[in-house]
A and B are shown apart, each in its own frame.
Chain A
């Protein structure tokens, strides 16, 4: 598949990135990711859609610098990624707020690591608390928050660092359906207002279409890019969009794409 991978145009460039896990107890090495090429334009909202176990989270973790690719490299603004850093903010599926810090302290964590004086942090934190609608909860411990509120805090924490790109690994995967819908609107609203380059991994087709300006569909393991679908639905998007004919057409197409892969995964598991 021909993808635009010219440097300069792309904010993020994934060049021939693959990942092979060593075999367990003398077993065969497991190929999790086939070599992947992907260019991401600045301020694009890209969702990576794939069946579970296809390596989409691995790809995201490689971009974050939390895992090293077996081959290939990742370039952010032309610089190679070698380790995790504050220029790539990440939101995880599991709740990763620091339980010993309050909501406000969690959001301020990156600023503090950067050495920003405490009096300057307050203002930044307040604006992000406001952005994710957590006013009045600044001094709560994470344990006192619902799952949705915890993930909102996690998004604020990542954004407060003003990263070049925001990476999200199924951030709403553990939430109930209603909360998930609200969170999608919240995140999309933030993106529409603040423009940020976003890489969002999900296995939920509706979520992938609703959020994205471009959906990357991955195959079953070993993962590779199966299709690259531009989503030209207008912004700002409202949840009613999910019932529109254009949305349904995209959904039908991607459902077909992903269904084949899900079946391959299921057969792989029973074999």
Chain B
């Protein structure tokens, strides 16, 4: 195969789908073929059956909705704080010098390790779940945006100055629009990470949500339900990612034209 040579869209789709098929086929073979113990791994058919029962009888879709709300709530909270802060750090170097060392440090604090503390402070209600996602996302967003904004094309800034822009004009009408697509792209990326934080938050001290269902199923050895839950998370993640991408494309036609 020639390196870096592109493939046609048709072949790309076929190849992409065929891996899923292979994956499920392998899964079906080791489970239905009796190569692993049923107790540890459900087969695809019973996974679907369990999933159906979850949705119809156990009202699992309520858990799904609650999890989605937590992800977006916590993520929105983090974005509202982090985006302006990131822009400020990127644009004004004293702000960066002031905050960057702390944020760099805080970024490595694992969100999951905060859960016991957050439970002490906020209880095991919704606020605690939102805070876990907030802690997990906010520092990441701040840092990535600060770097992107700091890398704003200098020649565009200089051009704007020669056209009469004030310092505020540079920030509002050059730095922000120039980096808007990158900022949106950053948010899309971090939203993906927020999905992992929410499940961790729901595994501990929770009575609802997809993560709660998963930990609950573990005690009943319901591996079919666990896998169904994981797949649901994956699907929602994929869906929100597609929606986010489409939204960004619609919002910033100039960056792709």
> Most chain-A CB neighbours within 10 Å: which of B155, B254, B257?
B254
Contacting pair B163 A157 (CB below 8 A)? yes
- Cα A105 to Cα B211 with chains together (Å): 49
B18 within 8 A of A: no
Among listed A41-49, A96-104, A191-199, A242-250, interface-contacting one: A96-104
B174 within 8 A of A: yes
Contacting pair A94 B252 (CB below 8 A)? no
Q: Which of B155, B162, B166, B180 contacts A94 (CB 8 A)?
A: B155
Given contacts A96-B156, A98-B178, A100-B177, contact A143 B257 (CB under 8 A): yes
B-side interface size class: 20 to 34
For A86, the chain B residues whose CB sits under 8 A away are: 162-164
- Binary per-residue interface labels of chain B (158-189) against chain A in the complex, 1 for a CB within 8 Å, 0 otherwise: 11111111100100011001101000000000
Contacting pair B180 A84 (CB below 8 A)? no
Q: Which of A89, A94, A114, A141 contacts B257 (CB 8 A)?
A: A141
Task: Specify the chain B residue showing the minimal Cβ separation from A160.
Answer: B163
Tally the A-B contacts, defined by beta carbons under 8 Å: 77
For B169, the chain A residues whose CB sits under 8 A away are: 113
Contacting pair A109 B163 (CB below 8 A)? yes
Considering the complex, which residues of chain B in the window 204-257 have a beta carbon less than 8 Å from any beta carbon of chain A?
252-255, 257
Task: Specify the chain A residue showing the minimal Cβ separation from B253.
Answer: A141
For B177, the chain A residues whose CB sits under 8 A away are: 98, 100-101
Contacting pair B165 A100 (CB below 8 A)? no
- Cα A142 to Cα B254 with chains together (Å): 8
Considering the complex, which residues of chain B in the window 136-170 have a beta carbon less than 8 Å from any beta carbon of chain A?
153, 155-156, 158-166, 169
For A142, the chain B residues whose CB sits under 8 A away are: 254
Given contacts A100-B177, A113-B169, A141-B253, contact A88 B162 (CB under 8 A): yes
For A94, the chain B residues whose CB sits under 8 A away are: 155
A137 within 8 A of B: no
> Most chain-A CB neighbours within 10 Å: which of B162, B164, B255?
B162
Task: Specify the chain A residue showing the minimal Cβ separation from B176.
Answer: A100
Could you tell me the distance in whole angstroms from the C-beta of A127 to the nearest C-beta in chain B? 17
For B254, the chain A residues whose CB sits under 8 A away are: 99-101, 141-143
Could you tell me the distance in whole angstroms from the C-beta of B127 to the nearest C-beta in chain A? 38
- Cα A143 to Cα B253 with chains together (Å): 11
- Cα A96 to Cα B166 with chains together (Å): 18
Task: Specify the chain B residue showing the minimal Cβ separation from A85.
Answer: B164
- Cα A88 to Cα B162 with chains together (Å): 6
- Cα A98 to Cα B254 with chains together (Å): 10
Contacting pair A114 B178 (CB below 8 A)? no
A4 within 8 A of B: no
- Cα A143 to Cα B255 with chains together (Å): 8
Contacting pair A158 B155 (CB below 8 A)? no
Contacting pair A84 B174 (CB below 8 A)? no
- Cα A100 to Cα B156 with chains together (Å): 11
Q: Which of A66, A92, A100, A114 contacts B164 (CB 8 A)?
A: A114
Contacting pair A64 B178 (CB below 8 A)? no
For B257, the chain A residues whose CB sits under 8 A away are: 141, 143-144
For A141, the chain B residues whose CB sits under 8 A away are: 253-254, 257
- Cα A142 to Cα B174 with chains together (Å): 15
Q: Which of A64, A100, A113 contacts B255 (CB 8 A)?
A: A100
Could you tell me the distance in whole angstroms from the C-beta of A58 to the nearest C-beta in chain B? 14
Contacting pair B155 A100 (CB below 8 A)? no
Considering the complex, which residues of chain A in the window 145-196 have a beta carbon less than 8 Å from any beta carbon of chain B?
154, 157-158, 161, 167
- Cα A84 to Cα B165 with chains together (Å): 9
For B253, the chain A residues whose CB sits under 8 A away are: 141
9 smallest beta-carbon distances between A and B, as pairs: A86-B164, A110-B163, A84-B161, A90-B162, A96-B159, A141-B257, A100-B177, A141-B254, A113-B164
Pull 16 A–B residue pairs with CB atoms less than 8 Å apart, ordered by A.
A66-B158, A84-B162, A85-B161, A85-B162, A86-B163, A89-B163, A92-B159, A96-B158, A98-B156, A109-B160, A109-B173, A110-B163, A110-B164, A113-B163, A114-B164, A141-B257
Besides A110-B164, A158-B162, 15 new A-B residue pairs in contact (Cβ under 8 A), listed by A number: A64-B158, A64-B162, A65-B162, A84-B158, A86-B163, A89-B163, A96-B155, A98-B160, A109-B160, A109-B163, A112-B173, A113-B164, A141-B253, A143-B254, A161-B164
Chain B residues close to A by CB (< 8 Å): 153, 155-156, 158-166, 169, 173-174, 177-178, 180, 252-255, 257
